């Protein structure tokens, strides 16, 4: 398995083991989508891997919190922790979709639908 595939698998494992229906960053008015960093301190799938200097900067968060992964990472992934750069914007978008879909999560972690989505991600990225 290539280095990129290993890192993608590592990120997928971190995301699936960390989240459940109670600790995911969620939509909070006036925003219309999940936030990279919520007011309660919870982060989304991409937010977990954004460097502290960005995610802890209120101005940065306020400016970028509602941008999708494609917009945020399309031109550069320099905002990510160095270890997790170079994994591809499509991969990060898949992580965000997995995180955002409520039906993929329950209080214990992944639902059956969520497990099926993880299987699709593993197949799509040959993980």
pLDDT of residue 54: 84
Tens-digit pLDDT profile for residues 13-23: 999 999 888 88
Tens-digit pLDDT profile for residues 12-68: 999 999 988 888 766 555 555 566 777 777 788 888 999 988 888 877 777 776 666
Using alpha carbons only, how large is the chain's radius of gyration in Å?
14
60: helix, coil or strand?
Answer: helix
Q: How many residues does the chain have?
A: 127
**pTM score, two decimals?**
0.86
**In this model, does residue 71 exceed pLDDT 60?**
yes
Q: For residue 110, what is the DSSP state?
A: E
| CA distance linking residue 107 with residue 19, whole number of Å | 9
pLDDT of residue 70: 60
């Amino acid at each position: 398995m290539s280095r990129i595939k290993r890192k993608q698998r590592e990120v997928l494992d971190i995301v699936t083991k960390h989240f459940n229906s109670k600790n995911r960053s969620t939509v909070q008015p006036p925003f219309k989508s999940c936030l990279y960093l919520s007011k309660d301190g919870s982060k989304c799938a991409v937010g977990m891997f954004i460097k502290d200097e960005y995610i802890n900067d209120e101005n940065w968060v306020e400016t970028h919190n509602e941008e999708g992964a494609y917009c945020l990472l399309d031109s550069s992934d320099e905002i990510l922790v160095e270890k997790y750069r170079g994994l591809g914007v499509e991969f990060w978008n898949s992580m965000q979709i997995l995180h955002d879909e409520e039906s993929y999560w329950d209080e214990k972690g992944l639902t059956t639908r969520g497990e099926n989505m993880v299987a699709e991600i593993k197949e799509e990225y040959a993980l």
